[in-house]
Chains A and B, each alone.
Chain A
Amino acid sequence: MKKQIPALVSLLVVAAVLCVLPFVLSDYNVSLAAQVGIFFVAVLGLNILTGYTGQISIGHGAFMAIGGYTTAVMSRDHHTNLVVTMLMAFAICFVVGLIVGLPALRFSGVYLALVTFALAVSIPNIPNQYSTFLGGVGGVTSSEEVSNLWIYVAAWSCSALLFLVAWLILRGRVGRAFRAIRDSEIAAVASGVELPVYKTLAFGISAAYAGVAGSLFVLATNGFAQPSEFGVFLSLQLLIGAAIAGLGSLWGVLAGAAFVGLLPQVSTSVPVIGAEHGRDVIFGAAVILVMLLLPDGFAGLVARLRRLARA
């Protein structure tokens, strides 16, 4: 129990800061902080799959798209309560994630990365083909708009709740199975881990997290779901976030989410380079730089600092 205390303290500090933030920040900055919360949910989910189970996915933007469209369509056609649509996004993406996880049983490593990449590329085309139901290029608008503060509260409540869920899942039998698969699939099978069950489960959980993030993502853009928002760049952002987060650290996930949630937004207003290109130049260079300096992500940095503090 004594070991848990520093972790508990850092958790409380984060929670306290998050509670205070909306009172001190301007409305625009609250929306940025909400953006970080949204990416926190998605990166946390992807971390379960990539970090803990060792399966690379470059397609989680697709699950965000499914979640986002679920919210927008349900709100447009049935005026469903927005929180209920998030639960639906969670459930639908969980099922879709399980289905996508099935081919993952046959592939591993790079092949899986490419299959999920295909998913990221394909999904944004679907609304264009079925434009009457999914709105085509113009997108779908939900019937309700919410304030930035609403998004902030929703995003960070989801983050807290899903962080707790992730912790509960990962600390026990399931988490051990995930880590065993990551370290060696063959050794995991030999020790009685049912590969099909746990691999698809990891996919399902991380997809469900991405679904909730997607639903928040759509609400944050005035309830407007559009194919171009869920392009490959989003999927890449999530993978970058998970890599920068590193493994097994709350601080890591926070840093990763802040990195991919804030930097592209902030770097659009760089002098010299100009608005649109500034995002790509600064963000791309920053990604490379961070990976060169911290190949194990922020979690690696935290672990190193902890060792230093102990010595």
Chain B
Amino acid sequence: MERAETSPIAGLRARGGAIDGGSAAVVLLLIGAAIFLLVGCLRSTAFAQYTVQGLALGSVYGALALALVLIYRATHVINFAQGELAMLTTYIAWWLMEKGLSYWAAFAATLVIAFVLGTLLEVTLIRPVQHSVIAVVIVTVGLFILIDGIVNWVWGGDFKFMQSPFGNASFDVGGVAIRHQDVGMVIVVFASVVLVWALFRFTKLGLGMRAAALRPAAAALVGVRVDSMLAIGWGLAAVLGAVAGLMAEPSQIFLSPTLMQPILVYAFAAAVLGGLESPAGALVGGLLIGVSLTLIVGYVPQKYIGAELQLPLAFAVLLLILLVKPSGLFGRREVRRV
């Protein structure tokens, strides 16, 4: 830690990796969960199907959770508008497709628009109030309501249909039907996560962004433009959110203004579960939540835990985990000084 103080950039280079440590108990827990899933998948095809579905959903939660974590690491603020922003960009993609673009062309254009939008929001709305945490939180809450209103106003609240990029066919792996769509979702999400990780890990821009997030003052002293880095961070988070929105759409079958609200809630849970400081934790948290929810819905009879209690139950479990490990599975305990 002392070295990091004297030379922030060198310290950051040394830390580099995505997983910031984590106790042996957590690793054991995850290995246990993996073995449980593997054995279950081998013994029952229904279990395998639930697991694959859960992983696909979980990757979407993970992507949005990662967007939250990116912003949290940089500014110590939760962006409540992240989900609605993702919903807005999904509508933009739908609109571009209506105008005649192919799916992947619209996908690419949407990511660019999301980046510009995220950056603009940071510069115009967040930066003026960034000295006060509560003001930033309230501005993002206002954005949540505003975006919801605008989308309803411009495109209406009725359901929209988007073509599925992966078709409706499925692979047959030893009697287990795995939908192309689920595999496609996981691949797209992981590809974008790996790209973002590579950007942070291997480029000078990424190094600057990490420096700006961890030690803004020191980073500014060695010539990093902290303000621009924060704006780019918001842009990247919006891009990840757009990916999450576009990948979430097929799983919900249709597009509506409330598309991302439940997903945002689970993404919050995923980010907190993984520890808000840890990008890898957000992803693992998303997958854990996705898989356990589909398994619970699949196996526990409606009469005990109906669809109504799914959300409260997820949060009760989250609360228990947090009571044991208040900084999440991968979070580090902060040392607080007066």
Is the beta-carbon distance between B143 and A288 smaller than 8 angstroms?
Answer: yes
Q: B139 and A107: CB pair below 8 A? A: no
The segment out of A83-91, A114-122, A156-164 that lies at the interface is A114-122
**B residues less than 8 Å from A240 (CB atoms):** 138, 141-142
Asked if residues B150 and A281 are in contact (CB atoms below 8 Å), the reply is yes
Of A2-10, A32-40, A125-133, the one touching chain B? A125-133
A282 to B148, CA, bound (A): 11
Judged by a CB distance under 8 angstroms, whether B2 is at the interface is no
A186 adjacent to B336 (CB under 8 Å): yes
In the complex, the answer to whether A106 meets B315 with C-beta atoms within 8 Å is no
A197 at the interface (CB under 8 A from B): no
Query: B74: CB under 8 A from chain A?
Result: no
A295 contacts B by Cβ under 8 Å: yes
Q: Closest Cβ of chain A: how far from B198's Cβ, in Å?
A: 28
Interchain CB contact (< 8 A) of B132 among A233, A239, A280, A295: A295
Q: How far is the CB of A280 from chain B (nearest CB, A)?
A: 3
Give the chain A neighbours of B40 by CB distance below 8 A.
none
**Docked CA distance A190–B268 (Å):** 33
Q: Mark A269-286, 1 if CB is under 8 A from B, else 0.
A: 000011011111111111
Check if A285 sits within 8 Å of B146, measured CB to CB. yes
Task: Report yes or no: A288 in contact with B142, Cβ–Cβ below 8 A.
Answer: yes
Tell me whether A280 and B323 are in contact in the complex, defined as CB-CB below 8 angstroms, given that A287-B142, A291-B138, A296-B132 are known contacts: no
Chain B residues with CB under 8 Å of A126's CB are: 308, 312
Does A236 lie within 8 Å of B276, measured CB to CB? no
Contact A280 B336 (CB under 8 A): no
B207 within 8 A of A: no
Candidates B137, B152, B308; contact of A56 at CB < 8 Å: B137
Decide: B78 and A114 in contact? CB cutoff 8 A. Answer: yes
Q: Is the interface of B mostly helix, strand, loop or mixed?
A: helix
In angstroms, Cα B306 to Cα A118, docked, is 18
Q: In the complex, A239→B308 CA distance in Å? A: 25
Q: Which of B132, B145, B312 has most chain A Cβ within 10 Å?
A: B145
B145 touches A283 (CB 8 A): yes
Query: Cβ of B10 < 8 Å from any Cβ of A?
Result: no
Decide if A106 touches B149 in the complex (CB within 8 Å).
no
- 8 Å CB contacts to A: which residues of B101-153? 125, 128-129, 131-132, 134-135, 137-139, 141-150, 152-153
Assess the A106–B323 pair: CB atoms within 8 A: yes
A106: which B residues are within 8 A, CB to CB? 322-323, 326
Chain A 127-146, CB-CB to B under 8 Å as 1, else 0, gives: 01100000000000000000
Q: Which residues of B contact A187 (CB under 8 A)?
A: 338
Distance, CA A286 to CA B78, complexed state (A): 21
Interface string of A95-124 (1 = CB under 8 A from B): 000000001001101110111011101100
User: Chain B: which residue is nearest A108 at the CB level?
Assistant: B326
A228 proximal to B (CB < 8 A)? no
* CB <8 Å contact, A110 and B265: no
* A292 at interface by CB-CB < 8 Å: yes
A interface residues, tally (CB under 8 Å): 50
- Residue A243 at the chain B interface, CB threshold 8 Å: yes
Cα–Cα distance between A39 and B326 once the two chains are bound (Å): 33
Task: Judge whether B70 is part of the interface by a CB distance below 8 angstroms.
Answer: no
- Which residues of A236-285 are within 8 A (CB) of B? 236, 239-240, 243-244, 273-274, 276-285
CB closest chain-A residue, reference B309: A129
Any chain B CB within 8 A of the CB of A184?
Answer: yes
Contact between B315 and A284, CB atoms less than 8 A apart: no
Say if the beta carbon of B46 comes within 8 Å of chain A: no
| A201-237 CB contacts (< 8 Å) to partner B | 233, 236
Instruction: Give the shortest distance, in Å, between B265 (CB) and chain A (any CB).
Output: 5
Q: Could you name 14 residue pairs across A and B whose Cβ atoms are closer than 8 Å?
A: A50-B134, A103-B322, A110-B72, A110-B276, A111-B326, A114-B78, A121-B315, A122-B312, A244-B138, A279-B149, A284-B142, A285-B142, A287-B139, A291-B139
* Further 6 A-B residue pairs, CB within 8 A, beyond A118-B318, A280-B152: A113-B78, A114-B268, A121-B265, A121-B315, A280-B145, A288-B143
Residue numbers of B with Cβ under 8 A of A are 72, 76-78, 125, 128-129, 131-132, 134-135, 137-139, 141-150, 152-153, 157, 265, 268-269, 272, 276, 306, 308-309, 311-312, 315, 318-319, 322-323, 326-327, 336-338
Which 8 residue pairs are nearest across A and B when measured between Cβ atoms? Answer: A280-B149, A284-B146, A287-B142, A284-B145, A281-B149, A122-B312, A118-B315, A277-B153
